[in-house]
């Protein structure tokens, strides 16, 4: 029975590791989208809105993936990941602000939210949160 338990633990560890790697890949795609995003007014607004919609969808997928991963870690390792929860809350507030700025056609606030708030939050995931989680899993 212990061999089967070890195999299940190994599979669980591999799933968590795969999820974290997928989250990093998704982050890379999001950073590319942010770097190529141009907030346009009037005649090009349609293209900006399409780009922002794709960005919002990818960020939502990132939040969903990292939420599920953190739940798996919490259940498996009995570790509370408060930094993940706080970062998710901040990300969701930023997304809400982006959506409101988009609806109001406020390009200045939209650019500030994306360039500063969103980019800063996602950078923390890339350089701090995900590496910390990986270290916790592989002491």
List the pLDDT tens digit at each of the 139 positions of the chain.
444 444 445 677 888 889 999 999 999 999 999 998 877 666 666 777 788 889 989 999 999 999 999 998 888 888 888 899 999 999 999 999 998 998 898 889 998 999 899 999 999 999 999 998 888 877 6
Select from 15, 134, 4 the least CA-distant residue to 79: 134
Are 127 and 13 contacting, i.e. CB atoms less than 8 angstroms apart?
no
User: Tokens representing 71?
Assistant: 């739940």
* Topology of the domain comprising 2-137: 1.20.120
Are 22 and 65 contacting, i.e. CB atoms less than 8 angstroms apart?
yes
Select from 122, 94, 121, 126 the least CA-distant residue to 110: 94
What confidence score (pLDDT) does residue 10 get? 66
Cα separation of 126 and 134, whole Å? Answer: 12
Burial bucket for residue 83 (CB in 10 Å: 0-12, 13-18, 19+): middle
In the chain, domain spans: 2-137
Cα separation of 2 and 44, whole Å? Answer: 61
Question: SS3 string of 75-137?
Answer: HHHCCCCHHHHHHHHHHHHHHHHHHHHHHCCCHHHHHHHHHHHHHHHHHHHHHHHHHHHHHHH
């Amino acid at each position: 029975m212990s061999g089967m338990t070890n195999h299940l633990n190994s599979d669980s560890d591999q799933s968590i590791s795969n999820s974290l790697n997928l989250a990093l890949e998704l982050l890379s795609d999001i950073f590319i989208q942010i770097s190529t995003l141009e907030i346009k007014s009037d005649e090009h607004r349609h293209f900006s809105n399409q780009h922002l919609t794709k960005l919002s969808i990818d960020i939502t997928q990132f939040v969903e993936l990292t939420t599920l991963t953190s739940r798996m870690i919490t259940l498996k390792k009995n570790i509370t990941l408060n930094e993940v929860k706080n970062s998710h809350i901040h990300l969701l507030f930023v997304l809400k602000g982006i959506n409101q700025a988009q609806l109001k056609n406020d390009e200045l606030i939209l650019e500030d939210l994306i360039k500063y708030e969103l980019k800063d939050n996602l950078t923390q995931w890339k350089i701090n949160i995900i590496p910390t989680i990986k270290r916790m899993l592989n002491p």
